[in-house]
Amino acid sequence: MSKDTLKDNVETVDKEAEISIIGNPNVGKTSLFNLLTGTKQYVANWPGVTVEKKIGSFKYKGKTFKLVDLPGVYTLSAKSEDERVAKDYLISNTSEIVIVVADALNLESSMFLLFQLIEIGVKTILVINSVDEAREKGRIIDPSPISKTLNIPVILTSAKTGEGKEELLEEAYKLSKEKNLTKKKIMYPEEIENFINFFQDKVSKFPKISSKYQNYIDSSWLPIYFLEFGSEDLELPQDFLTELKENFDIEDLKNKYLNWKFNFISYLVSSSIIKEGIDWSLRDILDHVFTHKILGILIYVFALFAVFSLTFSLAQPLSDLLDSAFTFLGNSISEFVTIPWLESLLVDGVIAGVGGVLVFIPQIFILFFFLGFLEESGYLPRAAFLVDRIARNFGLSGRSFMSIILGFGCNVPAIISTKTIANKKERLALILSLPFASCSARLPVYILLISAFFSTHAATIMLLVYLSSIALVLISSKFLQRFITQSEDIPFIIELPRFRMPTLKNLSIYTWNRGKHFLQKAGGIILIATVLIWLLSFFPNFGTDINSSFAASIGRVFEPLTNHLGWDWRINTGLIFGVAAKEIVVSSYATIFNVGEGSLTYALQNALTPASALALIFFVMAYIPCFATLATIKAETNGWKWAIFSFIYTTVVAYLIANLVFFVGGIFL
């Protein structure tokens, strides 16, 4: 072997190979991604858009593979932002290999996406996932008919048990070593072949098209894509389109192609299914119960109540332990630091402020763990299905409800998720209403106030807040669609995932990916805000009288509007700083009241009445979105107009709700 040949082989082994993973929603794509990459993954955005992407890596036989998780789509039609991102990425030739994930119990729906990828000409592996669940229902699948007909590897896997993982890794490794791609050729009916040949012959005479799609002039992808989805996003010249229409009845040809494709896929899938299996199982019985129009709603409310009850009961001992640790740390620093202002900064500022937020880490992570269980098990999509009828009365669909649920974690990805909503008018109303969805950043404020004033009914109050949050999003959307936008009724189509028992690994990844942002904020924006609040509280009297500090002056500006609610300048100042991030409300109170988390409870009990505290909870639930959310609204609506509107709109609504809660709550409390 020559040195050059040896060098080429070494480079082939060492060079990182890029694999993309794609599939319909709810086929177990994310679970398979987690199985392959473990914790070696991170989340970013696609260049130029705010659609989220997940990237991971793994090694096999000394070769490093980069795995890119593409959005869950049914086709590459580019009608939605997710589809456009997936299509643009796949035709860019960035990815060496594409793994298409299909559902063993719904194989046919994934074949349409598979066909498009074969037409593009990428190295493709079909993964038929959840074969363990298929076997439970008696369904037996033989992958050889699909593999032989389409000339692609087909692997049977279970992301839950790890079955098929080694075969998939081996197949990906083999394909990564192939330098020259042998493009797969699908044999179409004669009329379709004639159209493809005519299209390819003519397109080569148009330099603008041939330069843009130079890698696809000789493949069937471009003519078939045009035939199936039209020319809207292909930017084909008008004279080229005219020539096509003069020689072919495009609409008739499209219908013939779609009929042929549907029949071919049906035959291919039926040839691969040796045994259909039973039509029902325990999972199907559960589906009927959980999606019942009355019983299902009651179960959903009970599920949320159970989640909140467990969050409070399991987390409180851990929070008390953390509070004791921060108190001990503060006392220790006081003994060693003799400079008064530095001691005040470290103890009253950093320790009290950041520690006052970090003591809620157990509640945050436990809540996300249980919400992750509901999502990973397949229950939350059923909640969206349940409320579709209710949501339609407010001009929304069940798809919008999925964004609201996502908003329980963070409003930013919730707003970004509206890209999947085809109706632009519904989407705008939802974007402007989603800041009312009660994100996790507000959770420390809720826990602090509920623990201080309503500890015996903590789960009930928390449930009331979250249900009120959902109701507020719905009512706001109806209001905005009536007075600002108009909405068109569109059907809601959702493919419900089957019930699955989530794995501890997937739940751990889910919980960490959502909870870590809380920790990142504590080390960044919360720390900075805490120091700033301490400076405003310490000066100009050097900590001798906080009532005449800059912080007090800021809060007193709003006292004429809040005195009747029982909020003094201390409460107001915390709310003002909470605009940056809602967790800062807690750290602000810890700094301003100059106490730790345990003592802060008693300080607030002396500063507020139960009615005032309840009004404050609902004000925090609704008022001004954080800076990140406002920036996302600006990005999604292409300007500051709606971001400024959201700033004013949410503040006014929050103030009205706080007054309503205060006066109505005062009757019962």
| 23 annotated as ligand-binding | yes
SS3 60: strand
Strand partners, 123: 97
102 φ, ψ to 5°?
A: -120, 160
Token code pair at residue 31: 């679970």
Cα gap 59→570, rounded to integer Å: 54
| 27 annotated as ligand-binding | yes
| 247 annotated as ligand-binding | no
Cα gap 280→538, rounded to integer Å: 68
Token code pair at residue 259: 């009929």
| 69 annotated as ligand-binding | yes
* Side chain identity at residue 428, one-letter code: L
Cα gap 433→475, rounded to integer Å: 9
Cα gap 490→421, rounded to integer Å: 10
- The answer to whether the bond into 340 is cis (omega within 30° of 0) is no
User: For residue 287, what are the CA distances in angstroms to 132, 294, 319, 376, 556?
Assistant: 19, 14, 37, 15, 55
Cα gap 209→202, rounded to integer Å: 10
DSSP characters over 596-625: -HHHHHHHHHHH--HHHHHHHHHHHHHS--
Cα gap 656→659, rounded to integer Å: 5
| 596 annotated as ligand-binding | no
| 491 annotated as ligand-binding | no
| 37 annotated as ligand-binding | yes
Q: Which helix (H) or strand (E) holds 235?
A: none
Strand partners, 124: 98
| 127 annotated as ligand-binding | no
Angle formed by the axes of helices 610-622 and 458-483, to 10°?
Answer: 50
* Side chain identity at residue 122, one-letter code: V
Cα gap 339→331, rounded to integer Å: 14
User: For residue 353, what are the CA distances in angstroms to 24, 44, 540, 590, 594?
Assistant: 45, 30, 20, 5, 9
| 263 annotated as ligand-binding | no
Cα gap 446→462, rounded to integer Å: 8
CB 326 within 8 A of CB 597: yes
| 153 annotated as ligand-binding | no
| 26 annotated as ligand-binding | yes
| 531 annotated as ligand-binding | no
Cα gap 432→533, rounded to integer Å: 30
Cα gap 435→414, rounded to integer Å: 9
Residue 239's Cβ-count burial label (10 Å; 0-12, 13-18, 19+) is exposed
Bridge pairing between strands 97-103 and 17-23: parallel
| 513 annotated as ligand-binding | no
| 34 annotated as ligand-binding | yes
| 555 annotated as ligand-binding | no
**Chain-centroid distance, C-alpha 515:** 13
| 50 annotated as ligand-binding | yes
CB 471 within 8 A of CB 402: no
CB 63 within 8 A of CB 141: no
Question: Strand runs (DSSP E) across 260-406, as ranges?
Answer: 273-275
User: For residue 544, what are the CA distances in angstroms to 337, 539, 588?
Assistant: 19, 9, 18
| 255 annotated as ligand-binding | no
Q: Nearest-5° angle of CA 397, CA 398, CA 399?
A: 85
Cα gap 517→512, rounded to integer Å: 9
Q: Which residues contact 105 (CB under 8 A, 6 or more apart)?
A: 130, 133, 134, 137, 139, 498
| 543 annotated as ligand-binding | no
Q: Which helix (H) or strand (E) holds 393?
A: none
| 48 annotated as ligand-binding | yes
| 29 annotated as ligand-binding | yes
Residues comprising the binding site for Mg(2+)?
Answer: 34, 37-38
Residues comprising the binding site?
Answer: 23-30, 34, 37-38, 48-52, 69-72, 129-132
Residues comprising the binding site for GTP?
Answer: 23-30, 48-52, 69-72, 129-132
